[in-house]
Amino acid sequence: MWFLRLALALAFALILVRIGVALLAGFTRPTPEPPPAGELRKVKLVYRCSVCGTEVRMTAAVDEDPEPPRHCMDEMDLQAPVDI
């Protein structure tokens, strides 16, 4: 009976090790190259107007770090990233 428990424990440990190695291998993949200049990139930025409180969510931009939009004749403030 202890042989069966030992075999099950070893099989479970082997499965856990393989899952862990697969997860770590996923981190070693290089990041994809940026798109060509002029093509829109996906961004997730939220800006707020400091004068009236209007909020704008930017989802696509030419650069990864675009200039803030203008509202009420002033640049909007970048808010903390939102994960929705």
CB burial string 15-46: b at 16+ within 10 A, e below: eeeeeeeeeeeeeeeeeeeeeeeeeeeeeebb
CB 72 within 8 A of CB 51: yes
What is the pTM assigned to this prediction?
0.50
| pLDDT number for residue 19 | 95
Answer left, alpha or beta for residue 53, where phi above 0 means left and psi between -120 and 50 means alpha: left
The span from the CA of 43 to the CA of 61, in Å, is 7
pLDDT in 10s for each residue of the chain, 84 residues: 888 999 999 999 999 999 999 988 888 878 777 767 777 888 888 899 888 888 888 888 887 778 888 888 888 888 876 555
